Amino acid sequence: MGFRFWSFGLLLAAWSAPLSRADVLLYDYVQTSLIGTNYNAEAFASNRTKMAQRFITQANGYVITQLKLNIWTGSQNPGTYTVDLYSDNSNAVGTKVATAGTRDIATIYANAGTLTQATFTGLNINLATNTSYWVVVESNTGVEGSDMYWGHGGSTMVTNPTSAARFNPSTTPQWYTYPNASNPGALGMQVYASVPEPGTLLLGGLASLLGGGALWHTRRRNQLHKSQIQSASPSVNR
């Protein structure tokens, strides 16, 4: 009885304790020092209705919590844009695995040629570890008239071992991956993932250990009870 209530109390404490997490940057090419200044960019157009930037998860950084994108529009036109996460298919954009959100293009309005940021927070997108994925931005309406851009660093400013790509609905294949040495090089964004801190991992391990101990104790008690019943039963000759 004492073990059962003691273990139950510790299990309850472990499971009810708040998760403690830290964030790690999986991709960091946002150039915050250039916010509000002229900046290189790729324009969304009829032959670039979507653009994508590849990143790689880590062993302890694979739950996406936040995205920051260097995207903006120079005109206050109607329309929306969507940010998705896609799988990787041999260094090409694969299939959609999650959506970060859809917003009005007007929310990223800035004077033409200036850098702004769109931030998607509160995400909880669980991906595989040590795996390549793509952040895909799509201009949903008024591609030519949206005056929408994604800032980049150019061919001489590639700081990540990843690739950029564009989507052209009129070609086969529709996705084209840029060589790392060519424009746009690295599209501007930051990708954050959560990392369980040591305290959280310890609580998880404690919960598992106590859960296993409680299960063993219950089984052992049942076996003893069954053995006592069998030994107390009278034998019957037939």
Of residues 104 and 218, more confidently modeled: 104
- Label residue 235 by pLDDT band (50, 70, 90): very low
Please give the backbone phi and psi of residue 52, each rounded to the nearest 5 degrees, phi first: -140, 150
The DSSP bridge partners found for residue 71 are: 150
Give ∠ CA 32-102-99 in degrees, rounded to 5: 90
* Average pLDDT value for residue range 164-168: 92
For residue 35 the two structure tokens come to 């916010």
Question: Does residue 161 contact residue 91 with C-beta atoms inside 8 Å?
Answer: no
Q: pTM of the entire structure?
A: 0.73
Closest by CA position to 100, among listed 116, 71, 126, 123: 123
Instruction: Give yes or no for residue 192 having a pLDDT over 50.
Output: yes
Average pLDDT over residues 47-51: 89
Q: Is the pLDDT reported for residue 215 higher than 60?
A: no
Q: What would be the CATH architecture of the domain defined by 21-196?
A: Sandwich (2.60)
Give tens-digit pLDDT for 55-85. Answer: 999 998 999 999 999 888 877 777 889 999 9
Length of the chain: 238
- Residue 125: CB atoms within 10 A of its CB come to 17
- HSE at residue 98, side-chain half, CA atoms within 13 A, is 15
Task: State the burial class of residue 168 (Cβ atoms within 10 Å of its Cβ: 0-12, 13-18, 19+).
Answer: middle
Taking residues 113-134, report their average pLDDT: 90
Helix axes 198-232, 2-16, angle to 10 degrees: 150
Would you kindly state where each structural domain of the chain is located, as residue ranges?
A: 2-16+198-230, 21-196
Q: What is the pLDDT of residue 136?
A: 97
For the chain, the maximum distance between any two Cα atoms, rounded to a whole number of angstroms, is 100
Task: Answer whether residue 50 shows pLDDT above 90.
Answer: yes
- In this predicted structure, what is the pLDDT of residue 172? 93
Q: Which two tokens stand for residue 23?
A: 């964030």
Band (pLDDT 50/70/90 cuts) for residue 211 is very low
- The answer on pLDDT for 208 being more than 60 is no
Q: What percent of the chain has pLDDT over 70?
A: 58
